[in-house]
Structure 1
Amino acid sequence: MARLTGSWLSGPTAALPIDDDGTPKYRGQRIGLPETGPGSLVGSGRRLAALMIDWLMAGGVSVLILGGDALDSRLSSVVLMVWFAVGVVTVTLFSFTPGQFCVGLQVARIDKPVPVGIVRALSRQVLLVFMVPPLITDTDGRGMHDRATGTALVRSR
């Protein structure tokens, strides 16, 4: 009975291929990314910093759109719409949002070295709106929104 329950109670590491010790040596090894430097996976701190920069920027643009009224009841909806649009457009065109650029991150496809594209950028942003997929991560630290779209947030410099 212990082995039967251990297969699903062991957590996300139970799904990893068995190596010498059963775990990958570093985050991103299973998907072919380097351990450090450009192209390596980033941690939660840099992700959160990029999100805060993007959100504050969207808030500033939204206040300008609403005519400087920061207490307008529509402000939160406009902030979300601006953040969404900026995210889709910039990830499609440049593979990073302004906040990700500031902290040295970019969105990369893990299957091919090609741009992310509009479909993946749009899908990724839709999943980010719900905030649950980015909070659930795998053993590499990739959010479920990145796994669903075949992307990863990596260091650009």
Structure 2
Amino acid sequence: MPDATPRTFGDLEPSRWPGERLGLPDSGPGSVGRVGRRIGAIAIDWVVALLIALLFAPYSSLLHSWLTLAVFAIMQVVFIPTIGGSVGHRLTGMRVVPLTGGWVGLWRPLVRTLLLIVVVPALVWDSDQRGFHDKVAGTVLIRS
């Protein structure tokens, strides 16, 4: 009798919905946060960071650009473990949770944010719509 265990990535059955392989529902609370919500959340976070940076440097300066990035990163690292996600995540009805359950801790938001500010890992997704930054951190962005 042949072994039914997949041997290569191509042998895996495609997911019927994002998060199925993670044991998450197709829709509603606990399902994977979809693209529209993610884009809305990151736009909200970036605008908030941009406005906070304006308090310290003029818009057209190099300092303002770096401050915006720093404020964005700080907001991610501080708010993910304290309120379950960034301001944008929470306003769009999402939260960041570890795949293993429990509290997200401090190292996951740090790793996730470092990869997020590099941008490219956030653009590389798997079939569960998890960015590389979430895969490395062992997290998933779900609807709350």
State TM-score, norm by structure 2. Answer: 0.89
Tell me what 2:67 maps to: 78
Please list every run of at least 4 consecutive aligned residues from structure 1 whose deviation after the TM superposition is greater than 3 angstroms: none
Q: Does 1:53 align with 2:22?
A: no
Cα shift at 1:25: 2.3
Deviations along 1:79-122, whole A, 9 cap, x unmatched? Answer: 0000001110000211110011111111011112x121110010
Letter in 2 for 1:117: G
Structure 1 residues 116 and 15: CA distance shift in structure 2, 3 A: farther
Secondary structure at 1:36 match in 2: coil
Deviations along 1:5-63, whole A, 9 cap, x unmatched? Answer: xx98xxx6x252xxxxx322221111111111111002212111100100000000000
Letter in 2 for 1:129: I
Tell me what 1:128 maps to: 116
Letter in 1 for 2:20: Q
Write the distance in 1 (CA, Å) between the matches of 2:14 and 2:95: 26
Write the distance in 1 (CA, Å) between the matches of 2:61 and 2:130: 36
Letter in 1 for 2:76: G
Unmatched 5+ stretches in structure 1: 1-6, 17-21
Unmatched 5+ stretches in structure 2: 1-6
Any conservation in 1 of the 2:15–2:127 contact (CA below 8 Å)?
Answer: no
Q: Does 1:145 align with 2:133?
A: yes
Tell me what 2:56 maps to: 65
Q: Does 1:25 align with 2:13?
A: no
State TM-score, norm by structure 1. Answer: 0.82
Any conservation in 1 of the 2:122–2:133 contact (CA below 8 Å)?
Answer: yes
Write the distance in 2 (CA, Å) between the matches of 1:47 and 1:40: 13
The structure number with the bigger radius of gyration is: 1
Any conservation in 1 of the 2:56–2:64 contact (CA below 8 Å)?
Answer: no
Write the distance in 2 (CA, Å) between the matches of 1:135 and 1:71: 27
Write the distance in 2 (CA, Å) between the matches of 1:73 and 1:138: 35
Secondary structure at 1:33 match in 2: coil
